């Protein structure tokens, strides 16, 4: 059975239809890339999967591990192993990284019937995960994303991914705004986290990232639908031709 | 109760009480009447009472009392006496109002009267006095004569006039020139009564030149009937003195409080104060600061966390009369249930007060659509070379921030708690007295989780 099975998903916000029938199936351990022009609905798609309430699902459904994902609260989804790396990570002044992660992690452990981590074990785990994306451990005593550089914010998302060990990780343009060195660090981090029981949906605007995180399948989203799927060569084709031809296709369809 | 007859009878009841106790009020302490300090002299009391009579109980027609209905808060009826003698027997719960781990000079007042039985003042540096105001009338008459009734405005504030007419006891602190009080003072204002009482403690805090001290005042309600406290505090901060005060209000939801504080600052002094309101029925704080000489520094912080039907009304005034001063004000609130909040902060910069830096901010989070907030920051500037700013925001918790936390597995309540804690933390982290900060931190956790 597929980890994630999305059928004819429609979603809207404020009377505006944004997702107009997304179909997507992701198997365990697979990496799917979703590419597409700005405004095509990629972030909306990610947010709907993570449970953002502002978006209303009007049609279609999502099965996650065979259960109805859309029926679950955002925190339930997280506890069941769904993780979203935000395109724009939120700054939380006054909420320390340390406290934030300890609460999140212990919540997840409790859900799995595990004891909370000891202070020592937590610290060790935090250092290891921070090292994975070369994140300065000093940041752990600072407020979440508050005053972090753009690159630090993105690496912080992957760091949290490493800490929380989800089964489905959705990365929303984690590459945008990163220089080539930072991109490599992030990609290496993600690659190190690939496992046979962990799937990735990697949303990106550029093909560049996919040189490092090699996807099993590439999908192209345009105007709220997946208009084409293929292997990694599709990404290269897009890089060459741009997105304009897709728009024409989407309109024609 | 806004009915004029009802108001008139309310006013008359205060006047009657005054007449009934006139003899007692004139014979303050043990000394003869002519030795009494200014504010306790019979003639002054009578004058203050007449002022109160002219001004009347503040009604909502008065712009300054638009959101806080004092006649309604008094409608249940409260016995007005010039302060009953302190009771030695207190419900055991009074000890919960102490702060575990706090090494302080503890001074307790019960129903507005100094209680030596519950005070643990300990050793004091040479010349320092911490006692009841009534005692101080005998032991420190010169200090009282110089300061008592000199700062609080009983001529235009009716409740200050009323307090002045009845003032008998309260907290007295005197830190002489050049003296540093290492340990903080923890002043516990307890109330416990079998009948509804109208309490009027009068506090005088005097810090002379180069003195340094920190004071926590905590109003804590014990078992018993409701009280209405009309407290007046006068604070004198001498030249280059550094003074930090905290007012912590958790009187309980049956109790109403009007707390009027007038701080007077001399040259190059620093006065920092935080007003923290956790509960109460109707709570109104008038905080006025007059930095009356150059190079003063003034910090006003506030945190109000009302739930249920609690009403909290904070009104502040920083009156920059002299040049080269700095004032900084930050009030934060979280309103839950049907609570209501008011912030009315005024910064006044007089014509000759050049090179003033004055900042003021109020931020409130409203958790429930039945809760209401009225914020009115006011800047009135008559000098041209000043740097001033003010702002007020009222809103809900940021849904993006909530979603971010929930997407990591935290429940809605946990996420809310973490964010509210961070919001309040902005004020809590400025509290230099560790056990106080810990107690408030726990209260915030109990209120919101996180
Ligand atoms: N909160 C919102 N309110 C209104 N419109 C939105 C909101 N979020 C996204 N949209 C609209 O939905 C469309 C898709 O946006 P988005 O999902 O962010 O696309 P992408 O991530 O592919 O760039 C855009 O037209 C955008 O303006
Ligand atoms: Mg996007």
Q: How far is B404 from chain A (nearest CA, A)?
A: 7
Q: Please tell me the predicted confidence (pLDDT) of residue B80.
A: 87
Task: Check residue A140 and report its DSSP letter.
Answer: G
> How many helices (H) does chain A have, and how many strands (E)?
8, 12
Report the C-alpha gap between B348 and B317 in whole angstroms.
7
Residue B2 has pLDDT above 50, yes or no: no
| Phi, psi (deg, nearest 5) at residue A140 | -65, -25
Of A173, A155, A214, the residue nearest A36 (C-alpha): A173
Q: With a cut of 90, say whether residue B51 has pLDDT above it.
A: yes
pLDDT tens digit sequence for A177-201: 899 999 999 999 999 999 999 999 9
- Mention every residue, 6+ apart, whose C-beta is less than 8 A from residue B267: B239, B240, B293, B294, B295, B296
Going from the Cα of A72 to the center of ligand 1, the distance in angstroms, rounded, reads: 23
CATH number, domain containing residue A165: 3.40.50.300
Ligand 1 atom index nearest CA of A47:
17
Q: What is the count of structural domains for chain A?
A: 1
Question: Which pLDDT does position B193 carry in this prediction?
Answer: 86
| DSSP state letter for B140 | -
Of A54, A79, A92, Cβ closest to residue B409: A79
In this prediction, residue B1 has a pLDDT band, given cuts at 50, 70 and 90, of: very low
Which residues of B are less than 8 Å from A73 in CB distance? 406, 412
Instruction: Tell me, using a 6 A CB cutoff, whether residue A20 lines ligand 1.
Output: no
Q: How far apart are CA B249 and CA B310, in angstroms?
A: 12
Residue A205 has pLDDT above 90, yes or no: no
Helix/strand/coil percentages in chain A, nearest 5: 40, 30, 30
Atom of ligand 1 nearest to the CA of A173: 21
Residues of B with CB under 8 A from a CB of A: 398-401, 403-412, 414-415, 418-419, 421-423, 425-426
Ligand 1 pocket member A43 (CB < 6 A): yes
Nearest to A90 among B400, B412, B425 (CB): B400
Residue A90 Cα to ligand 2 midpoint, Å, equals 14
Chain A partners within 8 Å of B407 (Cβ): 50-51, 74-75, 77-78, 83-84, 86
In the structure, what pLDDT confidence band is assigned to residue B42 with cuts at 50, 70 and 90?
confident
CB of A42 shorter than 6 A to ligand 1: yes
Give the closest ligand to the alpha carbon of residue A45: 1
| Residue whose tokens read 């004891």 | A115
DSSP state of B180: B
Q: Do B399 and A94 touch (CB under 8 A)?
A: no
Distance A202 CA to ligand 2 centre (A): 12
Q: Which residues, listed in sequence order, are joined to residue B244 by a DSSP beta bridge?
A: B214, B272
* Percent with pLDDT over 90 in chain A: 88
Containing structural domain, residue A155: 4-252
Rounded to an integer, what distance in angstroms lies between the CA atom of residue B344 and that of residue A202? Answer: 51
The pLDDT value recorded for residue B232 is 98
As beta bridge partners, residue A6 has A24, A62
The two three-digit tokens of residue A63, written as one number: 């099965």
- Other CB atoms within 10 A of residue B192 CB: 20
Task: Report the candidate in B84, B146, B81 with the shortest Cα–Cα distance to residue B114.
Answer: B84
| B235 HSE (CA, 13 A, CB side) | 28
For residue B198 the two structure tokens come to 């109208």
Output b/e per residue, B310-334; b: 16+ Cβ within 10 A: bbbbbbbbbbbbbbbbbbbbbbbbb
Greater confidence (A249 vs A49) lies with A49
| 3-class secondary-structure state, position B179 | coil
pLDDT band at B10 (very low <50, low <70, confident <90, very high): confident
Domain ranges in chain B are: 1-255, 294-396, 398-450
| pLDDT reading at B4 higher than 90 | no
Cβ contact A235:A218 at 8 Å: yes
Min Cα separation B369/chain A (Å): 19
pLDDT in tens, B106-129: 999 999 999 999 999 999 999 999
Mutate to test the pocket of ligand 1, among A12, A13, A20 (most ligand atoms within 8 A of CB): A13
Q: If residue B190 lies in a helix (H) or strand (E), which one and from where to where?
A: strand B185-193
Q: Among partner residues B403, B408, B421, which is closest to A52 by beta-carbon distance?
A: B403
Give the angle subtended at the CA of A191 by the CAs of A187 and A194, to the nearest 5°.
140
Burial class (CB in 10 A: 0-12, 13-18, 19+), A223: buried
Q: Which position has the token pair 């070369």?
A: A134
Ligand nearest to the CA of A221: 1
Q: Taking CA A135 as the corner, what is the angle to CA A133 and CA A137, rounded to the nearest 5 degrees?
A: 135
């Amino acid at each position: 059975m597929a980890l994630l099975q999305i059928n004819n998903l429609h979603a809207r916000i404020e009377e505006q239809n944004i997702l107009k029938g997304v179909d997507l199936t992701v198997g365990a351990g697979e990496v799917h890339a979703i590419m597409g022009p700005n405004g095509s609905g990629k972030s909306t798609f990610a947010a709907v999967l993570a449970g953002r309430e502002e978006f209303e699902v009007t049609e279609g459904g999502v099965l996650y591990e065979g259960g109805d994902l859309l029926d679950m609260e955002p925190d339930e989804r997280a506890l069941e192993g769904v993780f979203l790396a935000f395109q724009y990570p939120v700054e939380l002044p006054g909420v320390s990284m340390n406290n934030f992660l300890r609460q999140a992690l212990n919540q997840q452990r409790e859900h799995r019937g595990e004891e909370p981590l000891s202070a020592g074990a937590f610290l060790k785990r935090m250092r290891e995960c921070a090292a994975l994306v070369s994140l300065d451990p000093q940041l752990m005593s600072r407020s979440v994303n508050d005053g972090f550089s753009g690159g630090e914010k993105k690496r912080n998302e992957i760091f949290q991914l490493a800490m929380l060990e989800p089964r489905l990780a959705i990365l929303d343009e984690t590459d945008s705004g990163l220089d080539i060195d930072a991109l490599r660090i992030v990609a290496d981090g993600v690659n190190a986290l690939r496992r046979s029981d962990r799937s990735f949906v990697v949303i990106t605007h550029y093909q560049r990232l996919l040189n490092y995180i090699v996807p099993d399948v590439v999908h192209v989203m345009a105007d709220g639908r997946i208009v084409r799927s293929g292997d990694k060569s599709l990404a290269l084709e897009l890089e060459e031709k741009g997105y304009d031809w897709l728009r024409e296709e989407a309109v024609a369809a | 109760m806004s009915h004029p007859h009802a108001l008139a009878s309310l006013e008359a009841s205060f006047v009657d009480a005054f007449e009934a106790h006139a003899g007692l009020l004139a014979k303050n302490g043990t000394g003869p009447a002519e030795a009494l300090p200014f504010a306790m002299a019979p003639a002054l009391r009578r004058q203050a009472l007449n002022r109160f009579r002219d001004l009347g109980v503040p009604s909502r027609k008065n712009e300054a009392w638009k959101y806080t209905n004092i006649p309604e808060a008094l409608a249940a009826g409260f016995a007005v006496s010039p302060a009953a003698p302190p009771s030695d027997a207190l419900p055991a719960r009074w000890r919960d109002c102490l702060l575990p781990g706090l090494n302080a000079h503890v001074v307790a007042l019960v129903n507005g009267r100094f209680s030596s039985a519950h005070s643990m003042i300990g050793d004091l540096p040479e010349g320092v006095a911490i006692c009841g105001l009534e005692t101080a009338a005998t032991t420190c008459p010169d200090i009282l004569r110089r300061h008592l009734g000199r700062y609080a405005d009983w001529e235009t504030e009716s409740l200050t006039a009323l307090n002045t007419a009845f003032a008998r006891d309260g907290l007295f602190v005197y830190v002489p020139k050049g003296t540093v009080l290492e340990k903080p003072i923890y002043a516990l204002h307890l109330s416990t009564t079998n009948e509804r009482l109208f309490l009027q403690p009068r506090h005088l805090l005097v810090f002379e030149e180069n003195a340094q001290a920190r004071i926590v005042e905590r109003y804590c309600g014990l078992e018993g009937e409701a009280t209405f406290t009309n407290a007046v505090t006068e604070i004198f901060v001498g030249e280059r003195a550094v003074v930090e005060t905290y007012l912590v209000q958790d009187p309980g939801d049956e109790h109403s409080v009007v707390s009027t504080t007038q701080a007077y600052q001399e040259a190059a002094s620093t006065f920092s104060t935080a007003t923290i309101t956790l509960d109460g029925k109707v709570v109104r704080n008038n905080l006025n600061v007059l930095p009356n000489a150059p190079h003063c520094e003034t910090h006003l912080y506030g945190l109000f966390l009302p739930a249920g039907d609690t009403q909290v009304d904070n009104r502040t005034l920083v009156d920059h009369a002299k040049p080269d001063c700095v004032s900084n004000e930050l009030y934060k609130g979280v309103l839950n249930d049907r609570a209501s909040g008011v912030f009315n902060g005024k910064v006044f910069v007089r014509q000759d007060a050049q090179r003033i830096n004055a900042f003021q901010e109020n931020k409130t989070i409203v958790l429930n659509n039945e809760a209401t907030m009225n914020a009115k920051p006011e800047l009135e500037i008559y000098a041209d070379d000043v740097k001033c700013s003010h702002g007020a925001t009222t809103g809900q918790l940021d849904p993006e921030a909530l979603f971010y936390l929930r997407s990591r597995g935290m429940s809605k309540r946990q996420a809310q708690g973490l964010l509210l804690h961070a919001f309040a933390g902005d004020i809590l982290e400025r509290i230099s007295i560790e056990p106080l900060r810990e107690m408030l931190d726990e209260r915030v956790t109990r209120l919101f989780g996180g």
